[in-house]
Amino acid sequence: MTKSPSAAIVVGVDFGTLSGRAVVVRVADGAELGAAVYEYRSGVVDRVLPSTGVALPPGWALQVPADYLDVLRYAVPAALRDAGADPAEVIGVGTDFTSCTMVPTLADGTPLCDVPRFADRPHAYVKLWRHHAAQPQADRINALAEQWGEPWLARYGGLISSEWEFAKGLQILEEDPELYAAMRHWVEAADWIVWRLTGKYVRNACSAGYKGALQDGRYPAREFLAALNPGFAGFVEEKLAQPIGALGAVAGELSAPAAAWTGLPAGIPVAVGNVDAHVTAAAGNALSPGQMVAIMGTSTCLVMNGAELCEVPGMCGVVDGGIVAGRWGYEAGQSGTGDILGHFVRTGVPPEYAEQARAAGATLHEHLTRLASAQAVGEHGLLALDWHSGNRSVLVDHGLSGAIVGQTLATRPEDTYRALIEATAFGARTIIAAFNGSGLPVTELIVAGGLVRNSLVMQIYADVLRLPLSVVTSAIGPALGSAIHAAVAAGAYPDVPVAAAAMGQVRRAVYRPVPANADAYDALYELYVRLHDYFGRGGNDMMHRLRQIQREAVAA
Amino acid sequence: MTKSPSAAIVVGVDFGTLSGRAVVVRVADGAELGAAVYEYRSGVVDRVLPSTGVALPPGWALQVPADYLDVLRYAVPAALRDAGADPAEVIGVGTDFTSCTMVPTLADGTPLCDVPRFADRPHAYVKLWRHHAAQPQADRINALAEQWGEPWLARYGGLISSEWEFAKGLQILEEDPELYAAMRHWVEAADWIVWRLTGKYVRNACSAGYKGALQDGRYPAREFLAALNPGFAGFVEEKLAQPIGALGAVAGELSAPAAAWTGLPAGIPVAVGNVDAHVTAAAGNALSPGQMVAIMGTSTCLVMNGAELCEVPGMCGVVDGGIVAGRWGYEAGQSGTGDILGHFVRTGVPPEYAEQARAAGATLHEHLTRLASAQAVGEHGLLALDWHSGNRSVLVDHGLSGAIVGQTLATRPEDTYRALIEATAFGARTIIAAFNGSGLPVTELIVAGGLVRNSLVMQIYADVLRLPLSVVTSAIGPALGSAIHAAVAAGAYPDVPVAAAAMGQVRRAVYRPVPANADAYDALYELYVRLHDYFGRGGNDMMHRLRQIQREAVAA
């Protein structure tokens, strides 16, 4: 790695689902000089609203925006201390966020949940990306868009998600119209945090395109929104529209209050907000067509640039400049990966395994991984569907759920663990197959996120996908990506691709497919596809029926 | 309960998989005066042959017949002591056994494993009911029977089991022909123990019919057996045939040696042998058509009398006088019920639940039951298939396996536990539906076995089946059933139904369907049937494919 004499540094801050992470990065070569994490105090609010103790309905997932500000207050100064860095050397700040995570605010950006008269109302809180209770609204939006032949629909693989800005916004209108009326802005958290840092509300091109249905400079039309609900007609101009900022551009200067929170110099450039997955493509220096970036954490986001506009069935979206200015950015995703494994480890593994892990000085994940690694492909006799959080691509259906087939009285926890890993790999394969089949061949998978540390997961993905796996070596890829955008915003590089080439941290082809394993997985993938299509494409609608029965049971 | 002045008592002995249980019962009213258990010293021999230390192949399950005699030596006297009973008051003895459990013997009933020159040969030992290594032989028997249009095949729902007399006998011929030649009798353990008690070999009608393919007074023909293997042509007349004794009839008098073992008076009548599940129908006073008896333990056996002969698809068998003389006895079964719950509790529940259970002074089963009881029907959003041990009825397919659908990141262990209970109830409903649909309406379920203690399981069965559940209150239902047969053999009652009416221990309609729950379960049962038929009737053969892939992976 070339060392630069320059002492210039940038700060990147990544706002995840459970915590925020700040990293201090050298502009010259991307070296990570220090980092810190801050766990959100309220975490994910998905059972009861803390202010009232009232239970939330199934599918709800909220957050408390004060937690995000605490990341600025605690993680940023801690990262500077960890780096032993002089804050005066920091030339820029960049941020990225989970998405679509939405904050309802007053005109000045104050979250409605911070307004005392609204604090008891669930809709006043941040709707986290994985809030799935707006599915009925999403279904109506999709049905109407298809009926009207809305041109933007194909840019989202034919379906928009219940996670996105319109469905979540319509849910507020229909469930709490008074609150909807009081909401002046419906803000991506990615932009809200930049607003807090700069005092200016700039809407980033990535969120606006992928989650806000902004295509070719236009949002869905007023008539379309009125047809969904007359009260929704003005949603775009009244709640959503805002000047767009390109990725890597300057959103504003660090304000005095934000300088006080972070310990950074007031007045330095703050980059336009960004989305955690998309910004990671820069961290992995993977901005060329064919290079698909998989950010594998609780869920997996897959992003890839293309030179041209194609329509990939079931993709999340294609946005001009959505990953890097001047290219078509494609996004697809898996709603649950690490989350599924984490849920299993928390709820499905007996005490003796916990004791064995402790005795071996390993985490339960490590212990199960070691046991599962000893197996040949197919040895456990199981096949699972990775839809515990629904299916984001290619089925785009959050009414789906998980499944596992093949259990016997000899099935052990490590068998299920491995089957769940494999299910997520098969899920990734359905997505890559859709890209390959749409004229966007995928030739390399560049992997980032927490699951990178699990070499069994990595090898299974290489085998199932028959692709070399390159690894983003940064411990916090998105934060590094944000730092790269900060460097561009600060003028240290002319554009993001040049900055990514200098600052990206990646090892190429760390995992390669083992042909015998890949052959064996082909046979299992065939079975996966049958199960996928049976439950996911209308062969058996029972997952939706079960969800409906569940909703009725809970309501009664 | 009417008290009888008579002091007459009978002894029933139940030979189970791991232990034998003796009970002392008052003839007048069936009151259980005392009981004792004896655990078999050798238990189930399924890993290595103790005499040689040589490993047994997969699927083998043997026993040592000396253990059965020890039950007579230790459990019977202990039960008499427990009852404070005068042995002189005992007017008869009855027994029941697991089935099909087979003893290869010399002409005098000496087990071949007790002949020193055969003690090192695995085939010389008792083949326990769950010895599954004769599957290739069973497959050939079924294929040939179907090809030849054998009339007896329909009496077994179209398939006979690898557990039964012919498959296990053919395995000996083909794997140890010398031992086969030395074997004079191939004896149901149910009859062998009566032979030891009386010195006379009488073959009971129940075993002969259900496990020995004796139908309308005929076994499968010599030509059929010769076509399987020329050396097997004489199997029936050389090894199997023996005078048949009706259930409840006298097999003989207690011999002097047996009197010495048991402490009972020599010369008292010993009832014809019987099978544990079938004899329980008497214990529950459930011998009329429409009264289905479910013995719910690790697996479930279902038996019911019918006035006429019907062919129920997928039943285990129908035998004239198979449960009670003069009626057609029907049997069906579920390969896993308590076993599935036990496997889940052992392998799928995290430490915090174990701690909570401990703190509450409850078993993990009790703790999960309490949590699951708080749910409304359908609240967990799950649906499972109860085929972890395959499906005995109505699909008769041991290549099937378990499945569960509907998991989310909010799924908890108590949700899965309840879904597994429900799956076994739905499995029972498919069987009852097959009986109802074949002209044998089921109007009451009489339940015995270990699962009776779980009131959530009971209520779910009542709701799912829309049937009143009566409960056999005896702690050892089969042993009470054997005692009832002893009373009939001793002449205290004219026949088993009259004796059962006087001595049976059952509480009627302890659980009744709750209409709202039953309605809710109808909706879920519809989904179960779709899944059942999809995986079980050829819609998707993936369970067999997974099993095959698993076998290949393990072999490689």
Q: Which amino acid is at B130?
A: R
Nearest by CB to residue B408, choosing from A402, A520, A552, is A402
Record the pTM.
0.89
Nearest by CB to residue B339, choosing from A336, A409, A520, is A409
Q: What is the pLDDT of residue B496?
A: 98
Q: Do B378 and A540 touch (CB under 8 A)?
A: no
Q: Which amino acid is at B357?
A: A
Per-residue pLDDT of chain B (556 residues; tens, 9 = 90+): 333 447 899 999 999 999 999 999 999 999 999 999 999 999 999 989 999 999 998 889 999 999 999 999 999 999 999 999 999 999 999 999 999 999 999 999 999 999 999 999 999 999 999 998 998 999 999 999 999 999 999 999 888 999 999 999 999 999 999 999 999 999 999 999 999 999 999 999 999 999 999 999 999 999 999 999 999 999 999 999 999 999 999 999 999 999 999 999 999 999 999 999 999 999 999 999 999 999 999 899 999 999 999 999 999 999 999 999 999 999 999 999 999 999 999 999 999 999 999 999 999 999 999 999 999 999 999 999 999 999 999 998 888 999 999 999 999 999 999 999 999 999 999 999 999 999 999 999 999 999 999 999 999 999 999 999 999 999 889 999 999 999 999 999 999 999 999 999 999 999 999 999 999 999 999 999 999 999 999 999 999 999 999 989 988 8
Which residue of A lies nearest to B388 if distances are taken between CA atoms? A408
DSSP 3-state helix, strand, coil percentages of chain A (rounded to 5)? 45, 20, 35
Min Cα–Cα distance to chain A from B32, Å: 35
> From the candidates A47, A386, A409, which should be mutated to test the interface with B, based on the most B CB atoms within 10 A?
A409
d(CA B262, CA A511): 70
| Nearest of A447, A441, A206 to residue A334 by alpha carbon | A447
Min Cα–Cα distance to chain B from A30, Å: 36
Q: Do A404 and B409 touch (CB under 8 A)?
A: no
The H-assigned helical ranges of A85-132 are: none
Nearest by CB to residue A401, choosing from B339, B377, B406, is B406
Q: Rounded to the nearest 10 degrees, what angle do helices B515-536 and B455-465 cross at?
A: 80
What token pair was written down for A81?
């201390």
HSE-CB at A476 with a 13 A cutoff on CA atoms is: 29
Residue A509 near residue A469, CB atoms below 8 Å: yes
d(CA B548, CA B400): 11
Question: Which parts of A128-188 are beta strand (E)?
Answer: 185-188
Nearest by CB to residue B350, choosing from A346, A543, A554, is A346
Q: Do B379 and A405 touch (CB under 8 A)?
A: no
- Dihedral sign (CA A104, A107, A108, A114): negative
Per the listing, tokens 């308590």 go with B338
Min Cα–Cα distance to chain A from B334, Å: 14
Nearest by CB to residue B553, choosing from A377, A403, A409, is A377
What token pair was written down for A473?
């070596």
- In total, the C-beta contacts within 8 angstroms joining chain A to chain B are 168
d(CA B452, CA B458): 7
Which residue of A lies nearest to B342 if distances are taken between CA atoms? A409
Return all residues near B300 (Cβ < 8 A) that are at least 6 apart: B294, B333, B334, B337, B424, B428, B449
Residues of B in Cβ contact (< 8 Å) with A523: 545, 549
The conformation of residue A15, written as its DSSP 8-state character, comes to E
What token pair was written down for B239?
């090894």
d(CA B229, CA B233): 7
Nearest by CB to residue B547, choosing from A381, A546, A552, is A381
Min Cα–Cα distance to chain B from A554, Å: 6
Residue A490 near residue A448, CB atoms below 8 Å: no
Min Cα–Cα distance to chain B from A335, Å: 11
Helix (H) / strand (E) element for B302: namely strand B300-306
Min Cα–Cα distance to chain A from B360, Å: 17
Residue A83 near residue A24, CB atoms below 8 Å: yes
Q: Which amino acid is at A245?
A: G
Q: What is the pLDDT of residue B80?
A: 98
| Nearest of A442, A470, A465 to residue A513 by alpha carbon | A465
d(CA A216, CA A193): 26
Residues A438, A441, A447, A448, Cα dihedral to 10°: -50
Q: What is the pLDDT of residue A249?
A: 97
Per-residue pLDDT of chain A (556 residues; tens, 9 = 90+): 333 447 899 999 999 999 999 999 999 999 999 999 999 999 999 999 999 999 999 899 999 999 999 999 999 999 999 999 999 999 999 999 999 999 999 999 999 999 999 999 999 999 999 999 999 999 999 999 999 999 999 999 888 989 999 999 999 999 999 999 999 999 999 999 999 999 999 999 999 999 999 999 999 999 999 999 999 999 999 999 999 999 999 999 999 999 999 999 999 999 999 999 999 999 999 999 999 999 999 899 999 999 899 989 899 999 999 999 889 999 999 999 999 999 999 999 999 999 999 999 999 999 999 999 999 999 999 999 999 999 989 998 888 999 999 999 999 999 999 999 999 999 999 999 999 999 999 999 999 988 999 999 999 999 999 999 999 998 788 999 999 999 999 999 999 999 999 999 999 999 999 999 999 999 999 999 999 999 999 999 999 999 999 999 988 8
Residues of A in Cβ contact (< 8 Å) with B408: 388-389, 401-402
| Nearest of B23, B59, B66 to residue B43 by alpha carbon | B66
Residues of A in Cβ contact (< 8 Å) with B556: 376
Residue B402 near residue B384, CB atoms below 8 Å: yes
| Nearest of A151, A173, A153, A149 to residue A161 by alpha carbon | A153
Which residue of A lies nearest to B402 if distances are taken between CA atoms? A407
Q: What is the pLDDT of residue A158?
A: 87
CA A77 to chain centre: 25
Nearest by CB to residue A350, choosing from B348, B389, B402, is B348
Q: Do A542 and B527 touch (CB under 8 A)?
A: yes
**Residue A556: Cβ-neighbour burial (10 angstroms; 0-12, 13-18, 19+):** exposed
**Residue B535: Cβ-neighbour burial (10 angstroms; 0-12, 13-18, 19+):** buried
Q: What is the pLDDT of residue B116?
A: 97
For B348-363, give one letter per residue: b (16+ CB within 10 A) or e: bbbeebbeebeeeeee
The conformation of residue B221, written as its DSSP 8-state character, comes to P
Q: Do B527 and A547 touch (CB under 8 A)?
A: no
Per the listing, tokens 């149910």 go with B190
* End-to-end Cα separation, chain B, in angstroms: 64
* Distances B252 to B94, B108, B286, B325, B484 between C-alpha atoms, Å: 11, 16, 27, 18, 17
| Nearest of A498, A513, A403 to residue B543 by alpha carbon | A403
How many Cβ atoms from other residues are within 10 Å of residue B513's Cβ?
19
* Distances A436 to A290, A292, A430, B371 between C-alpha atoms, Å: 10, 11, 10, 48
Min Cα–Cα distance to chain A from B532, Å: 12
The overall longest dimension of chain B from CA atoms, in Å, is 70
What token pair was written down for A528?
């996966």
Residues of B in Cβ contact (< 8 Å) with A383: 542, 546
Q: What is the pLDDT of residue B399?
A: 86
Residue B413 near residue A348, CB atoms below 8 Å: yes
* Distances A471 to A447, A451, A507 between C-alpha atoms, Å: 5, 11, 5
Residue A207 near residue A190, CB atoms below 8 Å: yes
For B33-51, give one letter per residue: b (16+ CB within 10 A) or e: ebbbbbebeeebbeeebeb
Residues of A in Cβ contact (< 8 Å) with B417: none
d(CA B396, CA B385): 14
Nearest by CB to residue B379, choosing from A401, A412, A550, is A550
Q: Do A550 and B380 touch (CB under 8 A)?
A: yes
Q: Do B378 and A549 touch (CB under 8 A)?
A: yes
Per the listing, tokens 């009542």 go with B462
**Residue B53: Cβ-neighbour burial (10 angstroms; 0-12, 13-18, 19+):** exposed
Q: Do A348 and B554 touch (CB under 8 A)?
A: no
* Distances B333 to B103, B315, B419, B442 between C-alpha atoms, Å: 24, 8, 20, 15
Per-residue HEC secondary structure of A218-259 comes to: ECCCHHHHHHHCHHHCCHHHHHHCCCEECCCCEEEECCHHHH
Residues of B in Cβ contact (< 8 Å) with A43: none
Q: Do B403 and A402 touch (CB under 8 A)?
A: no
Nearest by CB to residue A403, choosing from B347, B379, B405, is B405
Helix (H) / strand (E) element for A291: namely strand A291-296
d(CA A455, CA A469): 11
Q: Rounded to the nearest 5°, which phi and psi values hold at B115?
A: -90, 115
- Dihedral sign (CA A121, A124, A128, A130): positive
What token pair was written down for A434?
């859709």
Residue A485 near residue A500, CB atoms below 8 Å: no
Per the listing, tokens 């600060």 go with A490
d(CA A146, CA A134): 18
Complex prediction ipTM: 0.91
| Nearest of B453, B365, B450, B475 to residue B413 by alpha carbon | B365
> From the candidates A398, A463, A549, which should be mutated to test the interface with B, based on the most B CB atoms within 10 A?
A549
DSSP string, B81-102: HHHT--GGGEEEEEEEE-TT-E
Residues of B in Cβ contact (< 8 Å) with A547: 381, 406
Secondary structure class of B292 (helix, strand, coil): strand
Min Cα–Cα distance to chain A from B436, Å: 26
* Distances B122 to B125, B176, B307 between C-alpha atoms, Å: 6, 9, 43
* Distances B419 to A386, A399, B381 between C-alpha atoms, Å: 19, 19, 9
